Structure 1
Amino acid sequence: MTEFEKNEILKKAKQWFKNTIIKKHIKNMNKLSKENEFNINPFLLTYLSNFLEGDSEPKSIAKALIYPRVLGTSINTSFGTNIQEFTSTALSSLGSAVSGIDIEFIDQIDGKKKYCQLKSGPNTINKDDIKTIIDHFQSVRNLSRTNNLNIGFDDLIVGIIYGEQSELNAHYKKINANHYNVIIGEDFWHRLTGDKDFYFDLIKAINEVAKETNYKKELDKIIIKLSQTNYIKELSKELNT
């Protein structure tokens, strides 16, 4: 991969993060001014509200409900579900026409062609996904034999955008145990680009976009809107009696 191609990936990654992740995150945030967006746990709400703000006033309750969604569930879900778009945007030149394979590339460490299914992080698959991934890989191997191609176990990999080998959950380890390599974080990007520092350059590029983002005022408005709903006001009264 040339220097130009690597820079193009960084440029496209920045655009993808700005136009997809940030926009969808804001859209999801704006939904949170309505109480029906939450599954409220009555056993924990008083505790979380007091833990966060020291009371169970409407605004404190609103914060206890909104913060976990905005800073945790919402953005992590969005990042994970949009990996396919990341593939088609930032890694468009590497896209694969093979069913069950996201990208194809020449491994810059061992020089062999890799057929890669792309995932976001080290905890992003569950037990049911193991069979799906292995079945996809087996189908590719079957197809390769039909077409007289030499695609071995080592040529079929799961590439994970971020994280470290030690963080892989048990489901990814099961895929490794089935002879298919799971390549993660720094190692994945090194093999893809030939640049050992590319993973950190990618993080830096995304952070440059992130530093331009400030939605504190918008978030404060959503918190106030939720705190002013009749449901939250009545809930606060019940919690304080």
Structure 2
Amino acid sequence: MDNEHREQIIENAKQFFRAEIAQSHIDGACKRASSLSNYNVNPFLFKYLANFLTGNDDPKSIAKALVLPRVLGSSITTSFGMKVQSLITSLFQGLGSTTQGIDIEFIDAVDERKKYCQLKAGPNTINRDDVTTIVNHFDGVRNLARTNNLNVGINDMIVGVVYGEVSELSSHYRKIGQNYPVYIGQDFWYRLTGKEDFYFELIDAIGEVALEVDASKVVETTINKLTKEIEEKYK
């Protein structure tokens, strides 16, 4: 991958996050988090959490204790996980696959063999049932390849995990790894791009998108709206 191609992929990643992640984060998660009706408030905990976070339980502290986990936690992680395949295909044109159970196909920059890859978001994003499904898909592709006299080996069927470290892989991924390779984080992106540090470049580039939309002001506005509602309800 030359420098021009690398820069284009980085820009594609930023554009994807602007359109698919940041905007929905603002219009969806932050908007929902600004309304008290969208919380299942535990009356035994909300003042405790406010005091734990800020040292007091005034309405704004309560609002912060409610808003921050919502907009910085599970909602954005779930949204990202659902769009992993779209992210990869938007960065690398022509990698999509028509093979059942395979998300993308690419030439591995390490061993220069064609890989049939099922994409996953992170090191804990599959369950026990997914193990059987993935292995069965891979077995099916290899059986079809043999029927068609194609050279597709066990190491050519892979799971690509977009972020994380090998040490973080769940037991479900490790079970898949007994049959087929699981590449995660830096290693996955290196095989995909041929650049050892591309994973970290991509992380930095995506982080810059939040600065472009001035996300800190969005979060502050969300907290202020919820603060007013708490003041009115508990005054």
TM-score past 0.5 threshold: yes
Which amino acid is 1:98 matched to?
Answer: T
DSSP-derived class of the 1:69 partner = helix
DSSP-derived class of the 1:92 partner = coil
Q: Distance in 2 between matches of 1:127 and 1:38?
A: 31
**What do residues 4-24 of structure 1 show as CA deviations (whole Å, max 9, x unaligned)?**
443332221111111111111
- Contact 1:49 1:55 (8 Å CA) reproduced: yes
- Contact 1:87 1:102 (8 Å CA) reproduced: no
Equivalent residue for 1:66?
67
- Contact 2:26 2:218 (8 Å CA) reproduced: no
Shift of 1:225: 2.0
Equivalent residue for 2:192?
192
Equivalent residue for 1:131?
132
Change (3 A) 1:3 1:103: farther
- Contact 2:162 2:184 (8 Å CA) reproduced: yes
Q: Distance in 1 between matches of 2:212 and 2:196?
A: 27
Which amino acid is 1:173 matched to?
Answer: R
Shift of 1:174: 1.3
Q: What count of residue pairs does the alignment treat as equivalent?
A: 234
Q: Distance in 1 between matches of 2:82 and 2:228?
A: 32
- Contact 2:63 2:223 (8 Å CA) reproduced: yes
Q: Distance in 2 between matches of 1:57 and 1:205?
A: 37
- Contact 2:142 2:153 (8 Å CA) reproduced: yes
CA root-mean-square deviation: 2.0
Tell which deviates more after alignment, 37-46 or 135-144.
37-46
**What do residues 118-162 of structure 1 show as CA deviations (whole Å, max 9, x unaligned)?**
112212222222222222212212322232222222111011112
- Contact 1:56 1:236 (8 Å CA) reproduced: no
- Contact 1:185 1:199 (8 Å CA) reproduced: yes
Equivalent residue for 1:107?
108
Q: Distance in 2 between matches of 1:228 and 1:83?
A: 37
TM score, norm. by length of structure 1: 0.88
Shift of 1:218: 2.7
Structure 1 portions without partners, runs of 5+: none
Q: Distance in 2 between matches of 1:101 and 1:92?
A: 16
DSSP-derived class of the 1:68 partner = helix
Q: Distance in 2 between matches of 1:84 and 1:37?
A: 29
Q: Percent identity?
A: 54
